[in-house]
Amino acid sequence: MSTKLTKQLTYDAPAEAVAAMLDDVAFREAVLERQRVVRGSVDIDGDVARIEQVRSADDIPAFARKFVGDEIVIVQTETWTSAHGADVELAIPGKPGDAVGTLVLVEAGGTTTETVELAVSVRIPLVGGKIESMIAEMVGHALDVEHRVGVEWLKR
């Protein structure tokens, strides 16, 4: 089983501008800063963007904290397969969980919708589904922050 996450982020900009923003290390670093990660790094090499973030587990329920520890490391890899689409993988190194899916940009009338679809899987008996839901919610909130930063970024 897995928990599905679908998020649509709409930008008042053409798809090329949104794609350029997502390909900008400074933008990705601004998102990490606004997400208040403990530490993070961004590497964009050609068609592959790799964002590593370390989040505090302070606000995670006790049942999940014993599986993840005091910090959660998430490595997000986007492999752009076209100018407006990418395969996305979120890995949690050393933990039995991940998320895989896609990111697609669709422009209509000068407005671009970024659709992120992920399947979150945690392979832990009994509590895996609860942890999947928690991770999906955390990723959803992170995408909301990315969207707010992106709207501000594109207004510049």
Closest residue by Cα to residue 104 from 137, 80, 136: 80
Sequence-distant (6+) residues with CB within 8 A of 114 are: 8, 9, 10, 11, 18, 103, 104, 105
Is the distance from CB of 19 to CB of 149 less than 8 angstroms?
no
The yes-or-no verdict on residue 65 having pLDDT over 80 is: no
Sequence-distant (6+) residues with CB within 8 A of 105 are: 15, 18, 19, 84, 85, 112, 113, 114
| Residue type (1 letter), 71 | E
Average pLDDT for 147-154: 97
What's the CATH code of the domain at 119?
3.30.530.20
Mean model confidence pLDDT for the chain:
92
- Quick: pLDDT tens for 5-17: 999 999 999 999 9
Give the whole-angstrom CA distance, residue 76 versus residue 34: 17
- Quick: pLDDT tens for 92-111: 888 888 999 999 999 999 99
pLDDT at 78: 98
Torsional class of 72: left (φ above 0), alpha (ψ -120 to 50), beta (otherwise): beta
Total structural domains in the chain? 1
Query: Which residue range is the domain that position 91 belongs to?
Result: 3-155
Torsional class of 46: left (φ above 0), alpha (ψ -120 to 50), beta (otherwise): left
